[in-house]
Amino acid sequence: QKEVEQNSGPLSVPEGAIASLNCTYSDRGSQSFFWYRQYSGKSPELIMSIYSNGDKEDGRFTAQLNKASQYVSLLIRDSQPSDSATYLCAVREGGSEKLVFGKGTKLTVNP
């Protein structure tokens, strides 16, 4: 059973701080990794995708991937109250089209 693990939180940070979200995965064959943001009662929205080891930056978001450690993270700089949501880590299984999702980390950014 391939798994994607996330700390369910809740993670609470003050406005303007850096929020750090972590994810580990079990399938060493995985090549594609994604972070989705999901507001309550809504469908997920793609935030970042990353395929290679290292960092990938997009605006206030930075995704980090370490395949050797089977670890992927998302940093949100200058956190805003509008960033308050559940963040889902998703991993594409090796040799498959399927995405396996973690349970998500609930982030609250306090004004």
Long-range contacts of 51-59 (CB under 8 A, 24+ apart): none
In sequence order, the β-bridge partners of residue 58 are: 61
Torsion of CA 42, 26, 32, 79, to 10 degrees: 50
Interface stretch with other proteins, choices 20-28, 57-65, 77-85, 102-110 (CB under 8 A):
102-110
Q: Which is nearer to other proteins, 33 or 109 (CB)?
A: 33
Task: Mention every residue, 6+ apart, whose C-beta is less than 8 A from residue 96.
Answer: none
Question: Is 98 one of the binding residues for other proteins (CB under 8 A)?
Answer: yes
- Residues 25-54, mask of contacts with other proteins (x by CB under 8 A): -------x-x------xxxxxx--x-x---
- Residues making contact with other proteins (CB under 8 A): 4, 32, 34, 41-46, 49, 51, 88, 90, 92, 97-104
